[in-house]
Amino acid sequence: MALSYTLRLICLIVVSTGILQTALDLILWVGSPFLLRRLTSLPARLQERLLYFLQLTPFVGAALLTGLLCVPQYLHTETNLASENVGWLCLLLVAMVFTWFGFAAFHSIRVAARTMHFTRACRRSGQIVPYADNHTSIYTLQEPTHQVALVGLFNPFVCISRHLMEDGSLSALALDVVLDHEHSHALHCDNWKLLSLHAIPRLNLGLRGGGTWMRHWQNAAEWAADDDAVRGDRTRAFLLAETLVALTRRAAILDPEMICTGLVCGGSEFAVRIDRLIQRAPPCPRNPSLRKVLALAVLIFGAALVIGTLSPWLQNLSEHLLHLG
């Protein structure tokens, strides 16, 4: 099919981004056992941040490589400004990548819309509760039963089942720990991170060590919020563990198609979370060793060397992509 210069450039951007992202996703999947072993020795908050950025890396890396390598090379070397034939395989890849990215965008918009609808409903039917020691608004709701969650994106608030406030299921100290847990989610923008992970197109492959990258991030986010709520106090740790066990028996898991971080999270590993709370050890700060710094420097130098070696071949990369098939 003959396409204009502008349409050929769009095809190049789409195909290059899709191929590079798939390759980076597969590299991340292959290296997942090694990466997860290294992450387990880090503090929970650092694990959460690294797991989040790892999931963004394929898409961001693909976009950067396309913008810094493929597009400038095509703009510099392409002299035919008239229509030119594009290979059928290239067009098929364009359609596949558009479908992939479009589905991710549609899913994220749908999730955001459901979240906003639920947020407005909570604000209309809920009763706001003044609480001096917490910077996040608190609403009590008749439903869902025995549930605590941070809901919303803009000005998120904590919604608590009215049953918990009325039947004495939460003591004053337990309520303080629970609210600190949810405030930690708000402070670190975990709801926004969750929405961005829904929006970023990913392969979502099951990891060889079990679970998915999203599941591991949810675990780390809950553990980090637990650590922030506990503040190194064993009494608060045992109280949070006891509250989690009690609520898990009665609470309904919130809709996974909605942006919220509940105290009882269906995506986290409950048994491991309880073990961390009742058998917790004081966190020990870890400083990067000289060996790790040198390894990172060698990795960056190696990547630069590979790109430099492949630069002659990269000069024709755009033409190869456009004439696939």
Contacts of 191 (CB under 8 A, 6+ apart): 150, 151, 152, 153, 156, 185, 259, 260, 261
* Cα gap 80→78, rounded to integer Å: 6
Distance of CA 236 to the CA centre of its chain: 28
| pLDDT at 229 exceeding the cut of 80 | yes
pLDDT of residue 103: 92
Q: Peptide bond before 144: cis, by omega within 30 degrees of 0?
A: yes
For the segment 13-31, the average pLDDT, to the nearest whole number, is 87
H or E stretch including 258?
none
Check residues 88 and 106 and name the one with the higher pLDDT. Answer: 106
Portion of the chain with pLDDT greater than 70, in percent: 79
Give me the helix-helix angle, 270-278 and 234-250, nearest 10°: 160
pLDDT class for 306, splitting at 50, 70, 90? low
* Cα gap 312→51, rounded to integer Å: 35
